[in-house]
């Protein structure tokens, strides 16, 4: 294979823009094609500690963003628990974040073309793509065009079982509290994420198990429960990956002159829905493999970086959303423990902040279960016998 120097990237979101920036800084000729350029998505836009550690400019950039240290979890029966994060989640509007990343790619030397790519051919020595009314060639094509793209003949589109539907409102309200609500029977969750100047309030759930009408009803009920006014709000919808374990293990993500990154490769945490970090990191990892002249190493590098972690999340996801613990739903018990146990609250806070990996989560959970149960029992006893609590305090 001849040296790869000319790269076409289809999609200018976090994965494509990060990949393009890294390649351009290494001297590659890069063209990014995107029909929309910087645009909104009905997702929270939250960046956890692992994303901020990997890409420090996301903290220091001068564009609008919102650091969040407080999270409220809501169970299906309406019980609420507050978490205080040691490491804040920083929330961007996706249009702002995409614009920031595209600006960095342009400054690094990428050509950015506002055009829709309608066809890709990879069966020749060079890749060919149809866009802006003509055909263009590249040594290598990077597909960063989202979860439902069907541009590449060598891969199959993700089926509904590996996708989740999201609906969301952008509501012109200021807040400093992130909220996440779980609903019985829903393989997904509702959220309210504070962004600069507005809230992103939405819902996500597996496409194979839920339909948009059902989700819209749940979303509107959540808006009513939280006493939010929809005047001036905008409704958006989008499809995101939520991969099963076998999909993460079996999906082909690289060929002789092509590769998938970000949502197109299904690099998303199926428990939390976090995708921005994995999009940016996968774009960076592919760029590093191309710079090294070894694109075939891309899957192995992904495996080392994070695929094993996503596989653990995929295994956990059905248990998290549909499992039972001590006679109740896992999410309901989780929030009950968080209401009464400081030890359990700290563990959850670390999960939300992105500093707790799935690799050690089970050991930590079982290792501190005795303390969690003791703290919960003590809190409940004090709640039902305040006089005894006061006597202990005085003593």
Question: Given a cut of 70, is residue 28 above it in pLDDT?
Answer: yes
- Cα R_g (the chain), whole angstroms: 22
Q: Name the β-bridge partners of 192.
A: 179, 201
Within 10 Å of residue 290's Cβ, how many Cβ atoms?
24
Within 10 Å of residue 361's Cβ, how many Cβ atoms?
16
Percentage of the chain modeled with pLDDT above 70:
95
- Give the distance from CA 213 to its chain's centroid: 23
Question: Given a cut of 70, is residue 150 above it in pLDDT?
Answer: yes
C-alpha neighbours within 13 Å on the C-beta side of residue 378: 11
Q: Mind listing the pLDDT tens digit for each residue in 209-251?
A: 999 999 999 999 999 999 999 988 888 888 999 999 999 999 8
Task: Write the DSSP string, 70-100.
Answer: EEEEE-TTS-EEEEEEEEEEEE--HHHHHHH
Q: How far apart are the first and last CA of the chain?
A: 79
Question: Given a cut of 90, is residue 387 above it in pLDDT?
Answer: no
Percentage of the chain modeled with pLDDT above 90:
77
What phi, psi does 101 have (nearest 5°)? -70, -35
**Can you give the pLDDT at residue 3?**
65
Helix (H, G, I), strand (E, B) or coil at 178: strand
What is d(CA 166, CA 146) in angstroms, rounded to the nearest whole number? 14
Within 10 Å of residue 103's Cβ, how many Cβ atoms?
16
Within 10 Å of residue 50's Cβ, how many Cβ atoms?
19
Q: What is the mean pLDDT of residues 266-292?
A: 95
Question: Given a cut of 90, is residue 386 above it in pLDDT?
Answer: no
What phi, psi does 195 have (nearest 5°)? -120, 170
Owner of token pair 């703290």: 375
Residue of higher predicted confidence among 215 and 39: 215
Question: Given a cut of 60, is residue 394 above it in pLDDT?
Answer: no
Q: What is the mean pLDDT of residues 8-30?
A: 96
Q: Mind listing the pLDDT tens digit for each residue in 153-183?
A: 677 788 999 999 999 999 999 999 999 999 9
Q: What is the mean pLDDT of residues 16-24?
A: 97
Mark residue 225 as left, alpha or beta (left: phi above 0; alpha: psi -120 to 50; beta: remaining).
alpha
CB 122 within 8 A of CB 154: yes
N residues, the chain: 395
Q: Mind listing the pLDDT tens digit for each residue in 84-118?
A: 999 899 999 888 999 999 999 999 999 999 998 98
CB 187 within 8 A of CB 181: no
Q: What are 250's two structure tokens?
A: 């079996």
For the sheet with 117-121, list strands across it: 117-121, 127-131, 134-138
**Can you give the pLDDT at residue 388?**
47
Q: What are 382's two structure tokens?
A: 């004090």
Within 10 Å of residue 210's Cβ, how many Cβ atoms?
20
Within 10 Å of residue 363's Cβ, how many Cβ atoms?
9
Rounded to 5 degrees, what angle do the CA atoms 289, 291, 295 make? 35
What is d(CA 71, CA 74) in angstroms, rounded to the nearest whole number? 10
What is d(CA 345, CA 360) in angstroms, rounded to the nearest whole number? 16
Question: Given a cut of 50, is residue 295 above it in pLDDT?
Answer: yes
**Can you give the pLDDT at residue 38?**
67
The residue among 202, 217, 175 whose CA lies nearest residue 45 is 202
CB 233 within 8 A of CB 260: no
DSSP-assigned letter for residue 359: H
What is d(CA 189, CA 32) in angstroms, rounded to the nearest whole number? 33
Question: Given a cut of 60, is residue 2 above it in pLDDT?
Answer: no
Owner of token pair 């012109």: 172
Q: Give the pairing of strands 258-260 and 140-143.
A: parallel
What is d(CA 329, CA 307) in angstroms, rounded to the nearest whole number? 28
Q: What is the mean pLDDT of residues 35-47?
A: 75
Q: What is the mean pLDDT of residues 367-377?
A: 94
What is d(CA 355, CA 208) in angstroms, rounded to the nearest whole number? 31
**pTM more than 0.85:** yes
């Amino acid at each position: 294979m001849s040296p790869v120097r000319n790269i076409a990237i289809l999609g200018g979101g976090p994965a494509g823009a990060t990949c393009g920036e890294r390649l351009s800084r290494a001297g590659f000729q890069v063209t990014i094609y995107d029909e929309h350029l910087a645009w909104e998505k009905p997702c929270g836009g939250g960046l956890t500690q692992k994303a901020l550690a990997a890409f420090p400019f996301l903290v220091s950039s001068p564009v609008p963003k919102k650091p969040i240290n407080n999270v409220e979890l809501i169970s299906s029966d309406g019980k609420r628990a507050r978490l205080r994060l040691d490491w804040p989640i920083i929330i961007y509007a996706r249009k702002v974040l995409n614009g920031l990343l595209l600006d960095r790619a342009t400054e690094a030397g990428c050509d950015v073309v506002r055009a829709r790519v309608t066809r890709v051919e990879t069966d020749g020595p060079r890749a060919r793509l149809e866009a802006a009314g003509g055909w263009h060639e590249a040594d290598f094509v990077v597909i960063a065009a989202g979860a439902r793209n069907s541009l590449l003949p060598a891969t199959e589109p993700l089926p509904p079982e590996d996708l989740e539907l999201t609906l969301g409102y952008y509501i012109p309200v200021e807040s400093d509290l992130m909220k996440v609500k779980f609903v019985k029977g829903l393989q997904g969750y509702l959220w309210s994420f504070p962004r600069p100047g507005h809230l992103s309030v939405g819902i996500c759930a597996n496409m194979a198990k839920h339909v948009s009408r059902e989700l819209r009803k749940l979303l509107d009920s959540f808006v009513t429960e939280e006493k939010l006014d929809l005047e001036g709000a905008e409704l958006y919808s989008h499809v995101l990956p939520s991969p099963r374990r076998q999909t993460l293990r079996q999906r082909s993500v690289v060929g002789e002159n092509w590769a998938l990154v970000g949502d197109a490769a299904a690099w998303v945490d199926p428990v939390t829905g976090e995708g921005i970090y994995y999009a940016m990191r996968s774009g960076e990892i592919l760029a590093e493999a191309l710079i090294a002249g070894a694109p075939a190493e891309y899957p192995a590098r992904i495996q080392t970086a994070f695929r094993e972690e996503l596989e653990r999340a995929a295994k956990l996801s059905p248990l998290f959303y549909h499992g039972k613990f001590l006679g109740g739903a896992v999410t309901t018990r989780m929030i009950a423990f968080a209401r009464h146990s400081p030890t359990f609250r700290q563990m959850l806070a670390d999960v939300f902040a992105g500093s707790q990996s799935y690799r050690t989560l089970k050991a930590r959970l079982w290792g501190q279960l005795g303390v969690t149960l003791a703290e919960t029992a003590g809190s409940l006893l004090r709640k039902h016998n305040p006089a005894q609590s006061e006597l202990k305090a005085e003593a």
